Amino acid sequence: MRARVATAWLGGCSGCHMSFLDLDERLLDLARRMDLVYSPIVDSKEFPDGVDVALVEGAVANEDHVALARRIRERTRVLVAFGDCAVTGNVTAIRNALGGALPVLERAYCDPADLHAGIPAEPGILPRLLDRVLPLHQVVRVDVWLPGCPPSADVIGEALEALLAGRAPDLAGKVRFG
Ligand code: SF4
């Protein structure tokens, strides 16, 4: 039976997905054995039921990320923290040093001359930021850790091969942070 595989993008730069695409012709071989049922690189809007393996890139930085991470967990058998941002928070969590969501919004979106007037409310346009960026395992249970910024295509390929064969990937000595 063909495996149902998904990839998702939370608070990350898409570099981990770029590394996934670096599998190049190996993607053709994988495509014979799996269906990519949800991903930023396919036209799917809703995370489906019955996913065998989900690679989740990025840290959890806003309320939409929390909701998607929980939906993925409910509907996925093997959830992979895909890349350093998912594993530790990494680059996305640098903003934690500012101490909360408000100073981040002020720094990013407000004209300094308007700061005294507060943050303009735009309900429904931007998801509400969390005060702290969280690694994925602090929001949902994670089954497999795939560090790297980004993980190399070789490591992604080896992990997928193992997971499609029903094995836990043995990546000892093959992965590193950064
Ligand atoms: S781990 Fe690195 S490449 Fe992947 S989303 Fe984070 S910053 Fe980008």
Q: Which of 9, 17, 56, 84 to mutate to test the pocket of ligand 1 (most atoms within 8 A of CB)?
A: 84
Residue 46 burial (10 A CB sphere; 0-12, 13-18, 19+): exposed
Please, are residues 80 and 53 in contact by the beta-carbon 8 Å criterion?
Answer: yes
The predicted-structure confidence for 6-62, as pLDDT tens digits, reads as follows: 999 999 999 999 999 999 999 999 999 999 999 999 988 999 999 999 999 999 999
Residue 104 is classified by DSSP as H
The predicted-structure confidence for 49-108, as pLDDT tens digits, reads as follows: 999 999 999 999 999 999 999 999 999 999 999 999 999 999 999 999 999 998 988 888
> Which atom of ligand 1 is nearest the CA belonging to 16?
4
Q: Is 133 in the pocket of ligand 1 (CB under 6 A)?
A: no
Q: Is 11 in the pocket of ligand 1 (CB under 6 A)?
A: no
Average pLDDT over residues 133-144: 98
- Model pTM above 0.85: yes
The rounded distance, in Å, linking the Cα atoms of 175 and 100 is 32
Q: Which of 19, 80, 91 to mutate to test the pocket of ligand 1 (most atoms within 8 A of CB)?
A: 91
The rounded distance, in Å, linking the Cα atoms of 80 and 144 is 5
Residue 174: C-alpha distances to residues 15, 45, 102, 171 (Å): 19, 34, 39, 5
Q: Is 144 in the pocket of ligand 1 (CB under 6 A)?
A: no
The rounded distance, in Å, linking the Cα atoms of 110 and 77 is 42
The rounded distance, in Å, linking the Cα atoms of 101 and 24 is 38
**Which is nearest to 149 in space by CA: 96, 94, 91?**
91
Which pLDDT does position 68 carry in this prediction?
98
